[in-house]
Chain A
């Protein structure tokens, strides 16, 4: 059974750096084809993809946020970490991590419950 759980601060100040951790179980991020992605959703708005890291350490970023994002993995700890610099109130959102499954044609087949991050001074 695959599970993912996001963790990190619930409140950050403008200009600070946000660090979020996705801790997962039920799969290995060293298995060929597997990936973990980050997606966010501002209150009342649509899903927005942020970043994706693959089993071979290939990394992809949203073009509009690429300069602010870094995604890394720690296979031994079953964790994926996302950092976002220079946080702004518009970055207030629920942040989700999700498993990208090859058995599901590369869809995000399992999602975490999300963590709400508020950016405010």
Chain B
């Protein structure tokens, strides 16, 4: 079981908006640690998609956005495209685990 909880899968039609949740606790997200999101296309290494809860690295389309509230965070993708079909992971740190890195279990996005 992952420390951060994500839905195993989400889906949406092209052009739609989808959101992926990442639920933590008072020892990680709720403790003030930033949440980061990674996109992993099939057969490739993960790529940083959102850092510091809501910031996009250079080159990431503004269709991707992130937010954080309390002990949870969310990734939103608007104007869904076929190329967005991938696995998405959230990541933070945890005080109860001596500052360990924690990942969510990943969410598989299917574009219908």
Instruction: Tell me if B52 is interfacial: C-beta within 8 Å of chain A.
Output: yes
Q: A46-B89, A112-B45 are in contact. Are A107 and B36 (CB under 8 A)?
A: yes
Instruction: Tell me if B55 is interfacial: C-beta within 8 Å of chain A.
Output: yes
How many residues of chain A have a CB within 8 Å of chain B?
Answer: 23
Bound CA–CA A62/B99 (angstroms): 10
Main secondary structure of the interface of B (DSSP, over half): strand
Instruction: Tell me if A74 is interfacial: C-beta within 8 Å of chain B.
Output: no
A106-B93, A111-B45 given; 18 more Cβ-contact pairs under 8 Å: A46-B103, A46-B105, A46-B106, A47-B89, A47-B103, A49-B91, A49-B102, A49-B103, A52-B101, A63-B98, A96-B45, A104-B48, A104-B51, A105-B36, A105-B55, A108-B91, A110-B48, A111-B48
**Size range of the interface on B?**
20 to 34
Instruction: Tell me if A56 is interfacial: C-beta within 8 Å of chain B.
Output: no
Inter-subunit contact B103/A96 (CB<8 Å): no
